[in-house]
Structure 1
Amino acid sequence: MTIDHTSFNVVWSVLMPRRSLALAALALVAGCGGTGAAAQPSASPTSTQGRDFQIQTLKADCMKGKGFKYVAWVYPDVPLTDEDEQRLSPDFATRKAYRETHGYDIMYRQIHGRPEGAKDAPVDPNGAIRDDLSPAQQKAYGTASDGCEAEAIKKVTGKVVTSAGDLVQQMNKLYAQRMKRELDGDPQLVELATAKADCLTAKGYQVSSTKPTLMGDWGRQSVERELHERARKEDKDIPPYDPDSGVAYGTTRLTDQEKRQYLQKEIKTAVDDIECGKDFDAAFSPKATQIWERVSQ
């Protein structure tokens, strides 16, 4: 999913690895065109594909009525890539090894692009349709796309949104609210989160809070926040960083050397994060995943 902008890409921040799969799939099935980062395959897309295709069919009819070509398209169920398997592995050593080269996949993707196994993944045909339009037509297409998405989503789900992106952000915020309500008071998680924070502090990091929900995604958010703030200095139209929204901007105005420097810093943070949070993550991840599954349903 992308936001039209001349210099910046949107990075969809996620609190849990499995959640990233669900969010990416949702973004595609809700009809987001464009040329942004490729979606990851959904962990369980078939349960909602009928509903999603209904949304897409309504959107296609709406777009036709506005004079635009649009193909009703739902992201299919595809196997996880080798990189996905390593990143999501239940084995701690395997996940740590992944972080030692990829970090959180934020800067790694800017440098290396899509993983080999994802290069042959299905691609939404509407991105190419939009790219063939003139800049003025693309702007009109984007406005029509958002409006038709909102209309189709409301008809099928009853949800009032401004676009598919708005729906994703609403889900992110609901997820964050339920996480805080259910997990920040969990005695076991509070104890383990404090231990993780102490470990990170000993390694020289600044930890502003030991709440379980903040410690659960502390590392990724610290990396995203830094890149987001750099982007804001370059473009005043970018809103403040809001971790609950699931959206963060990353500047594309980086030299190759700067990208490598950012990647090395990200890798160090990611490795320290997973080492200090080994016990915390083992207790936190299953509970967070259960909450996300309830929200997505």
Structure 2
Amino acid sequence: MPRRSFLPLAVLTLLAGCGTGTAASPSAAPSPTQNNAHAIQAIKADCMKTKGFRYVPWARPTLAASDEDEKRTSGDYAAEKAYRSKNGFNVASLLAYRPDQEASKADKQPVDPNYAIRRDLSPAQQEVYETTSDTCEAQAIKQVTGKVVKSKDDWTIQANVMISRRWKRDLDGDPELAELASEMADCMTAKGYRLSGTTPTAVAFWGETTFRKEMHELARKEDKSIPAFDPEQQMAYLPYLTPAEARRLLDREIKAALDDLECGKRFYPVFRPKSDEVARQVDAEFGLR
């Protein structure tokens, strides 16, 4: 069975430009996180070389956010409605639109050269390559950021947990957000939805968490070794769905996401800028782009 894909916390994808923007100008000064990413890659390449593997230092180019992404980050209603009408909470869309996304990436996006290097190895060598890659990446991350991680996946999980905790710490105690969240929760309850709580973070992420968990549980039915879903880590495994199955799940998700947006008209323009700033701070701390 092929190695399963993780569904990382969406905000990190959003901050990296969602893959929808254009490449940043080469003359632009690199950010501290870009410098960290390149430093990690250089150290990893040296480590891989000492282990007998070729590895090309490669950090995905930072993409400039599109005008629509900027509007969404500010909580713009029209931009968010257009996005949710197609992608819902951006969970099932990753499967429903996967063929289109893969074709787009192949045509437009730079490709990590190490995929080809790994692909040319024998199955046994690929296993060793992956283990060595994780070990070398962990060493590089610790050297550059001081973070102790086991692998790239663990790196992302730790960042997710830190983001979740700081959101709760910094946003759930915000009086304005608390009032707006309570108003939104009442609206969603009236529409028949069951939220896990009425705090700003519970209200903001109930939808994404709900569908992320559903996706994860489908994967667990296929593979009993997959651990239970952890709401704090927010790392969901992706199941193997047919295009029709993925589409049905996405249709349900889109309806919920649009209801959520209608109820959150006053909440999201206040919540989004504050939550994204917290995520950016953690992003920098962990050396993530």
TM over 0.5: yes
Q: 1:113-152, aligned counterparts within 5 Å?
A: 113=98, 114=101, 118=105, 119-152=107-140
Corresponding position: 1:73 with 2:58: yes
The 3-state SS of whatever aligns with 1:106 is: coil
Q: Report what 2:80 is aligned to.
A: 95
Corresponding position: 1:231 with 2:216: no
TM (norm. structure 1) is 0.83
Q: 1:159-174, aligned counterparts within 5 Å?
A: 159-174=147-162
Structure 2 gap segments, 5+ residues each: 285-289
Q: Report what 1:217 is aligned to.
A: 205
Distance 2:256 2:20 in 1: 25
Residue 227 of structure 1 and its aligned partner are, at CA, apart by: 1.1
User: Structure 2 vs 1, CA of residues 41 and 204 (structure 1 numbering), >3 Å: closer, same or farther?
Assistant: farther
Distance 1:256 1:296 in 2: 33
Residue 21 of structure 1 and its aligned partner are, at CA, apart by: 3.5
Residue 189 of structure 1 and its aligned partner are, at CA, apart by: 1.5
Q: Report what 1:288 is aligned to.
A: 275
Query: Contact 1:13–1:243 at 8 Å: present in 2 too?
Result: no
Residue 39 of structure 1 and its aligned partner are, at CA, apart by: 10
Query: Contact 2:45–2:55 at 8 Å: present in 1 too?
Result: yes
Residue 267 of structure 1 and its aligned partner are, at CA, apart by: 0.7
Greater RCO, CA 8 A, separation 6+ = 2
Match for 2:13: what amino acid?
A: S
Distance 2:6 2:20 in 1: 13
| Length, aligned pairs only | 277
Corresponding position: 1:48 with 2:33: yes
User: Structure 2 vs 1, CA of residues 204 and 264 (structure 1 numbering), >3 Å: closer, same or farther?
Assistant: same
Residue 104 of structure 1 and its aligned partner are, at CA, apart by: 2.4
Q: Report what 1:12 is aligned to.
A: 8
The 3-state SS of whatever aligns with 2:7 is: strand
Query: Contact 1:8–1:231 at 8 Å: present in 2 too?
Result: no
Q: Report what 2:287 is aligned to.
A: none
Query: Contact 2:8–2:156 at 8 Å: present in 1 too?
Result: no
Query: Contact 1:21–1:42 at 8 Å: present in 2 too?
Result: no
Q: Report what 1:57 is aligned to.
A: 42
Residue 134 of structure 1 and its aligned partner are, at CA, apart by: 2.2
Distance 2:68 2:213 in 1: 25
Residue 64 of structure 1 and its aligned partner are, at CA, apart by: 1.0
User: Structure 2 vs 1, CA of residues 111 and 205 (structure 1 numbering), >3 Å: closer, same or farther?
Assistant: same
TM (norm. structure 2) is 0.85
Deviations 1:53-85 (A, max 9, x none): 221111111111111110011222334468756
User: Structure 2 vs 1, CA of residues 38 and 278 (structure 1 numbering), >3 Å: closer, same or farther?
Assistant: closer
Distance 2:74 2:103 in 1: 18
Query: Contact 1:58–1:152 at 8 Å: present in 2 too?
Result: yes
Question: How many percent of aligned residue pairs carry the same amino acid?
Answer: 47
Match for 1:204: what amino acid?
A: G
Distance 1:141 1:71 in 2: 13
Residue 112 of structure 1 and its aligned partner are, at CA, apart by: 2.3
Deviations 1:237-295 (A, max 9, x none): 1111113213111201x233222211110110111111111211111112212222222
Distance 1:71 1:61 in 2: 10
Distance 1:136 1:270 in 2: 44
User: Structure 2 vs 1, CA of residues 264 and 105 (structure 1 numbering), >3 Å: closer, same or farther?
Assistant: same
User: Structure 2 vs 1, CA of residues 189 and 149 (structure 1 numbering), >3 Å: closer, same or farther?
Assistant: same
Query: Contact 2:41–2:59 at 8 Å: present in 1 too?
Result: yes
More off after superposition, 51-60 vs 137-146: 51-60
Query: Contact 2:207–2:257 at 8 Å: present in 1 too?
Result: yes
1:196 to 184, 188, 193: 184
Residue 158 of structure 1 and its aligned partner are, at CA, apart by: 2.1
Distance 2:84 2:55 in 1: 39
Structure 1 gap segments, 5+ residues each: 26-36
